[in-house]
Amino acid sequence: MLKAVKGWLLCFLMIPVVACAQVDAPYKEGEHYVELPDPVATSDTSKVEVVELFWYGCPHCYALEPSVVAWKEKMPSYVKFVQMPAVLNKSWEVHGRAYYAAKSLGVLDATHQALFNEIHAKRNPLYSQQRLAQFYAGYGVTEEAFNKAYNSFPVSAQISRVKKAQREYRATGVPLFIVNGKYKVSGTMKAGANGLFDVVDYLVERERAAN
């Protein structure tokens, strides 16, 4: 009986501590991030994965890109960053295929920011395979090589994987960040674009502590 009373008292005494921890949490589910109803498997369970869904035609993704680069430069070694071009419709798939074609051809690092700049800063509407082939030709890729990669089986398979992943993430827009297959963070939430990576960092550390 005494043990039961002590146990009850211990639980009672812990309630204010737990409540206080919840109140003091800097970011709240439903306001600063959304927890996915079903966790999605990550590509490397030894690290905390952060996935970025973006679209080259999205002005918000373009504006956020410098912050993405700055965050990647300082991210800890226990974080794995995965960039994923969203393909929420047919027109977005054009850019998704271009992304993976460029990656397979070894020119992604040289062309990623350049393609953003071409579309948004130079207002060059690169929204077709033909126009994109001409763009990549400026980076040493022949149009024939680009078109072959663009229509290749590996790129098509990658696009299929992206479509599956974005369904599991319940993605409806970009830019969107998925932390460890469990949480969604976007600039439209309470922290805004300026505080987006603060929320991402908070969730990363929470996942690291939990694992």
Q: 105: domain CATH number?
A: 3.40.30.10
**Residue 187 has what pLDDT?**
87
158: Cβ contacts below 8 Å, ≥ 6 apart: 100
Pairing assessment for the beta strands 183-186 and 176-179 based on DSSP bridges:
antiparallel
Q: Is residue 162 part of a domain?
A: yes
Q: What is the mean pLDDT of residues 7-28?
A: 50
24 occurs within a structural domain? no
Would residue 116 count as lying in a domain? Answer: yes
Band of the pLDDT at 24, cuts 50, 70, 90? Answer: low
pTM of the model: 0.86
Domain membership of residue 17 (yes or no) is no
Number of domains the chain is built from: 1
Residue 104 forms part of a structural domain: yes
Q: Is residue 194 part of a domain?
A: yes
In a domain, 8, yes or no: no
The answer on pLDDT for 3 being more than 80 is no
Per residue in 132-181, pLDDT (tens digit) is 999 999 999 999 999 999 999 999 999 999 999 999 999 999 999 999 99
Q: What is the pLDDT of residues 132-141, one digit of tens each?
A: 999 999 999 9
Report CA dihedral (144, 146, 149, 150) to the nearest 10 degrees. Answer: -110
Sheet architecture: strand order including 34-35: 34-35, 183-186, 176-179, 48-54, 79-85
Which segment of 18-27, 69-78, 79-88, 142-151 scores lowest on mean pLDDT?
18-27
Full domain range(s) for residue 145: 57-206
In a domain, 2, yes or no: no
Position 87 scores a pLDDT of: 97
